[in-house]
Amino acid sequence: MNVFAISIFSSLVISTHAYHASDFLVEGLEKIEPNYAKFDGKMYAGLLPIDIEESGKENEEKRGELMFWMFQANKDLDSITIWLNGGPGCSSFSAGNFFETAPVTSPHYRAGYPKTSYDEPFTHNKWAWTRATNMMFIEQPTNVGFSWGPTVTDEADLSQDFYNFLQNFFTTFPDMATKKLFIFGESYAGMYVPSIAHKIHTENVKGEHRTINLSGIALGNGWMDAMGQGSAVIDYAYWHGMIDSPTRANLFEAWDACKAGDKLDPPLHDFNVPDECNIMGATMQAAGAGLFPDKIPNVYDVTTWDTYPILNDANNTFDVFMSNPEVRKALNVPDYITVPWMGCIPGAGRRLEEELLPGKTLLVHDKPESVVPYVAELLDEAGIRVLIYNGDRDISVCAQGSEKLLDEMNWDGANGWKNEAKRGLWMVEDNMAGYAKTYGKLDFVIVYNSGHLVPNNVPVPALDLITRFVNDEAYMDVEIPAFEGLSKGNRARSRHQWFHSILLLTVAIVCFVSGMLAASCWNRRRSGYSSIPTNVQTT
């Protein structure tokens, strides 16, 4: 448990009861932030337990709770989409909600723009994803944001807590239980979402609890496999001119040594992961990080140099808003939650947590090392739709690393993905939005002109992205003809041209050699004769 919360919850016993949706209705938020009045729908927020509520256990001590914030649109939408951020240790309220997809956000910026100011005012988001689906943001795992409970050590712990929360949520909001459920995850949530979906699928097969109507998952710039994706940063930096070829070779040598156990930094975990190899930091240092005190290459957007600490600054718009007691009251945060809200817990990303929160490193034993097998299982067994999308300007979790994982994934459609998948242009409002590849239930989309935070960088294409996903629509609008080398006819013509060229070359060589021989013979004959004198005298 978060050290700030230990004293609060160590002896806390809270009487549980049958929850009702009305208990979580958000009221009065528009009086604090007027832009919320523009949302056409209802908001619900609060905490639900991470153990399934059962009758007869009303007075048992709670093990923990997860904080949620749901936006239910007034129009009849047949889906609910859960958004999760990664870190690990970052709240989904910060980036996903306030920065990207919710009805009220900070201003959006295309990749390549200067960083957002800390005190940017909120604005109405006319590209909010609530135009396509009901949205819910959940602060997880425990001890992120207002959520509390035992510190999770791996994806199994995290998924169990999340599954139990969902059961309680659908019991409280039965109208949502009948809708299609989609789960989106960004960055390190690429580990969370497949793990959670695997848990849901496994429990649905068992049939011991309510069947959860999971219909699809999507990973935006998602981290799924440390060893499979880690080294992609090196090639990305090289092909973008950030490092030269000798540096590239040295970085790959360091990467290979790290995989063999010779870590670049002291280990924090039971297995090798790139934050131990520190290949990202090493690559950025080779690209110029450290030359200036206040600017480094932005790993989320290679077109900019800045520090980009906005999610961790106590004076930013999000933190100030969430620290307002009236906001906490409107969001139904109970009085026993006294910890300060933070967009990301100290040391989010695991490397610094041991220093800042001794003994409380989040996901210290995080396993599995790869969730790609879970993705394959969801495609083969659960039969749900899977979308992998990447902003093309993100180096931290680049498109090339994601594509490598998909190309190497062992699933029933592996051969078709490599040899039969269609690839083409994704168009939004007659503009090029990216490249799309699809086979069966699997989609891979590269988002044009975007960094790590796709809905923030390109909100219009991002809204189209979620709309097509929840409506089971294809992303490819214009197919690119597959390049398979030369056709049979072209190969035949090429062979004919090759033989013709060889024949002409042979004739030319023969003629040249013959000419040289003839010239040589003529010169030898000339050397055997005397010249005719030109000054002959007569008598």
- Residue 155 domain flag: yes
Choosing from 479, 502, 530, the residue where a domain stops is 479
Q: What is the pLDDT of residue 511?
A: 64
DSSP 3-state assignment of 65?
strand
Q: What is the pLDDT of residue 62?
A: 87
141 and 103 within one domain: yes
Q: Which two tokens stand for residue 68?
A: 């949620």
Can you give the CATH number for the domain in which 384 is found? 3.40.50.1820
320 and 255 within one domain: no
Choosing from 479, 498, 528, the residue where a domain stops is 479
Residue pLDDT tens, the chain, 539 long: 443 343 344 434 344 457 999 999 999 999 999 999 999 999 999 999 999 987 555 557 889 999 999 999 988 999 999 999 998 889 999 899 999 999 999 888 777 776 667 678 899 999 999 999 999 999 999 999 999 999 898 899 999 999 999 999 999 999 999 999 999 999 999 999 999 999 999 999 999 999 999 999 999 999 999 889 989 999 999 999 999 999 999 999 999 888 777 655 544 444 445 566 788 889 999 999 989 987 888 888 988 887 655 555 656 888 899 999 999 999 999 999 999 998 888 766 654 444 545 555 677 767 778 999 999 999 999 999 999 999 999 999 999 999 999 999 999 999 999 999 999 999 999 999 999 999 999 999 999 999 999 999 999 999 999 999 999 999 999 999 988 775 555 555 555 565 566 666 666 676 666 666 655 654 554 444 333 333 333 33
Residue 464 near residue 428, CB atoms below 8 Å: yes
Tally of domains in the chain: 2
- Residue 52 domain flag: yes
240 and 135 within one domain: no
Distances (CA, A) of 161 to 10, 94, 149, 336, 460: 19, 21, 10, 20, 34
User: What CA–CA distance (Å, rounded) separates 88 from 92?
Assistant: 11
Residue 303 near residue 393, CB atoms below 8 Å: yes
198 and 62 within one domain: yes
Choosing from 479, 502, 522, the residue where a domain stops is 479
Which residues face 70 on adjacent strands? 44, 136
155 and 79 within one domain: yes
- Residue 360 domain flag: no
Distances (CA, A) of 125 to 99, 418, 471, 517: 10, 39, 21, 85
The whole-model pTM stands at: 0.86
Residue 264 DSSP code: S
222 and 255 within one domain: no
DSSP 3-state assignment of 81?
strand
470 and 436 within one domain: yes
- Residue 448 domain flag: yes
Q: How many helices (H) and strands (E) in the chain?
A: 19, 15
Count CB atoms within 10 A of the CB of residue 15: 8
DSSP 3-state assignment of 440?
coil
- Residue 376 domain flag: yes
Count CB atoms within 10 A of the CB of residue 435: 19
- The tens digit of pLDDT for each residue in 234-274 reads 999 999 999 999 999 999 999 988 877 765 554 444 444 55
273 and 260 within one domain: yes
Which residues face 214 on adjacent strands? 181
Q: What is the pLDDT of residue 295?
A: 83
- Residue 530 domain flag: no
56 and 197 within one domain: yes
257 and 205 within one domain: no
267 and 189 within one domain: no
- Residue 517 domain flag: no
Count CB atoms within 10 A of the CB of residue 97: 23
Q: Name the residue range of residue 235's domain.
A: 229-294+303-309
413 and 283 within one domain: no
User: What CA–CA distance (Å, rounded) separates 281 from 187?
Assistant: 17
- Residue 516 domain flag: no
Residue 288 DSSP code: T
